[in-house]
Structure 1
């Protein structure tokens, strides 16, 4: 029975929904950070209406950029998981790390905007999505990972 469970868990490929979620999230955030960097360097102008509340306050700019390493790590692990998805078993841990990082980043932003009492849908809702969508996949990845036999 255990061998059947382990074989079944080891043969599970990455779902298209998970791959699509990772690709979309990684792509959107890569675009966001590229645009943010271009804006800060003066290469592009973004109307104030598209910036979050207080964007010109240096403390909020620093707060925003404090997410960059977290988002970069989530993107790197997500891309690595996609590339590793052709190899049996390797992709699950990478995807779980990426999803945990995305959910953390989204949760931190949602907590901040909630504490500030600011519910601008253009900033609050995307962060809420980034917080929630990984939670649909993480339990299954953890269950599959715990069903794996230890490496020889």
Structure 2
């Protein structure tokens, strides 16, 4: 989770500085509509990263922090939404580049086990 949340910030930093090599870029990377589409993820990705990093910080300070686990759930759901939005977009476009599908499928799927665990056994409820 830490790597993913830092990755959100790193991706938009690298993108903003124009450091992604053209051969690694997605189809239409310089098209103004595609640029706007890509930047439309900024707020959901930064919200996912900020809530995730804050949750990890809170949980390090207090192991049973309800605020930390709640923020973790928010972060994981935002991460899944971001991945789903990208995968849906690439599906609608019929663009199946593994270079962009793999990271977005990761964003969609990696949170699932933690989301299930947090929903099935909410913070403060003992394991049965």
- Whether TM exceeds 0.5 here: the answer is yes
- The residue aligned with 1:62 is 36
Q: Deviating runs (4+, > 4 A) in structure 1?
A: none
Aligned to 1:24: 3
1:1-150 to structure 2, matched below 5 A, reads 22-39=1-18, 44=19, 46-85=20-59, 86-87=61-62, 88=64, 89-145=66-122, 148=125
TM value normalised by structure 1: 0.76
Q: How many residue pairs were aligned?
A: 122
> How far apart, in 2, do the equivalents of 1:139 and 1:98 lie?
14
3-state DSSP class of the match of 1:130? helix
Residues 132, 77 of structure 1: alpha-carbon distance in 2 compared, 3 angstrom cutoff: same
Distance 1:25 1:67 in 2: 15
Distance 1:25 1:142 in 2: 21
Deviation at 1:145, TM superposition (A): 2.2
Q: Take 1:47 and 1:83, find their aligned partners in 2: how far apart are those partners? A: 34
How far, CA to CA, are the matches of 2:68 and 2:92 in structure 1?
36
Q: CA RMSD in A?
A: 1.4
Q: Which runs of 5+ in 2 are unaligned?
A: none
Q: CA deviation at 1:144?
A: 2.5
TM-score by length of 2: 0.89
